[in-house]
Amino acid sequence: MSSEPDWTLYRTFLSVAKLGSLSAAARSLGLTQPTVARHIESLEGELEVDLFLRSPRGLLPTDVALALLPQAEAIAASAATLLRTAASGKGEMTGSVRVSASEAMGVERLPPILAALRVAHPRLDIQLVLSDGLHDLLTREADVAVRQVMPTQGALFAKKLAPTELGLYAHLSYLQRRGAPRTLSDLAHHDLIGFDRHTPAVRDMLQRFPEVEKARFALRTDNDLAKFAAVRAGLGIGVMQAGIAARDASLKRVLSDQLSIQLPLWIVMHEDLKSSAVCRAVFDALAAGLSPARAGVAEKRAVSDGRRGLSGRSATRARKTPRRG
């Protein structure tokens, strides 16, 4: 090894290893493809090893490259921490924070929280990464994450919030057309909007509410935003977050006394980022914005709306009068 490689070469190496091509890495880093190629050649020359093999599927990392990845990720994490620490020491809230959340959370619940955060700290740059997969906080794929599963990795700083209630909802137009189900068994005679794949969460729900699997599905999708849009369009009955559904007066909850799911909610970040003022500001803002004090009122209103009336007296009778077979 002739000299110490420049950090930018490791950054390029990480991007190519994760994305699998020079062109994708170039777009991600804001560089040209020839520049990325030169970086990889320079790093291979400095280390005196081959890092990638060309294949029909793109660039595949060699065994040496795979062994180097954890160290390169550690360098990236240290560099990010250094920049945040320097920014927080200037006495002003400035810098970038990468926030990870599910698509539904990022579209339906986070924008007002982030808008208020931006007003309070106008020099703060938020990078929002939306995916229903979990980004690795240990390798800094994200700085702060909103998760709806309990964090299991070590070296994480987490705050558990009150769970989010899920229930069955339908648009008024659907209920006027088809009526409201009286029992979970009635779902077999209604159009449902729901899951496509049997994920662990879906399997857990079906164990608790087996009647759901017997229902007639009008639309199957694993995308929560598509489910919400279909419910709002009157396509059928679907599961929604109570707090989200409460914002639309045309959505009514059905079978609230028979199906209620509590979804866990956590705010998580790497424990090393607790000393970063910008990361802690984002962490605290998300925790406050998603707390029951802000979200609970809407969820309680959603439940009461669903119980008050789907179609007047007939809905009240349906709750009080047992169904006769």
First to last CA, the chain: 82
78/14 Cα distance (integer angstroms): 14
Per-residue pLDDT of 201-250, as tens digits, reads 777 777 788 777 767 789 999 899 999 999 999 999 999 999 899 989 99
Per-residue pLDDT of 52-72, as tens digits, reads 888 877 888 898 888 888 877
Would the pLDDT of 167 be above 90? yes
Q: Are strands 95-101 and 124-130 parallel, antiparallel or unpaired?
A: parallel
Would the pLDDT of 45 be above 90? no
How much is the pLDDT for 274? 80
Q: Which of 54-58, 66-70, 85-89, 117-121 has the lowest mean pLDDT?
A: 85-89
Nearest to 108, CA basis, from 221, 201, 223: 223
Global pTM reads 0.60
Per-residue pLDDT of 148-159, as tens digits, reads 887 776 678 889
Average pLDDT, the chain: 79
Would the pLDDT of 17 be above 70? yes
pLDDT bin (cut points 50, 70, 90) of residue 135 is low
Choose between 279 and 75: higher pLDDT: 279
211/242 Cα distance (integer angstroms): 21
How much is the pLDDT for 213? 72
Q: What is the mean pLDDT of residues 91-117?
A: 87
Helix ranges restricted to H, the chain: 7-19, 22-29, 33-47, 63-88, 103-104, 110-120, 172-178, 200-208, 224-232, 242-245, 277-289, 292-308, 313-320
Partner residues linked to 255 by β-bridges = none
Would the pLDDT of 186 be above 80? yes
Could you say which DSSP state residue 212 is in? G
Q: Are strands 124-130 and 191-194 parallel, antiparallel or unpaired?
A: unpaired
Q: What percent of the chain has pLDDT over 90?
A: 28
> What domains lie within the chain, and their CATH numbers?
7-88 (1.10.10.10), 95-159+272-296 (3.40.190.10), 163-263+299-320 (3.40.190.10)
Which of the residue ranges 77-91, 139-153, 228-242 has the most confident prediction, judged by mean pLDDT? 228-242
248/251 Cα distance (integer angstroms): 6
In what helix (H) or strand (E) does residue 251 lie, and over which residues does it extend? strand 251-254
pLDDT bin (cut points 50, 70, 90) of residue 82 is low
Angle at 65 between CA 30 and CA 31, to 5 degrees: 10
Q: What is the mean pLDDT of residues 93-112?
A: 88
Count Cβ atoms within 10 A of the Cβ of residue 143 and give its class: 0-12 exposed, 13-18 middle, 19 or more buried.
buried
Per-residue pLDDT of 269-316, as tens digits, reads 888 788 788 888 899 999 999 886 554 443 343 334 334 333 333 333
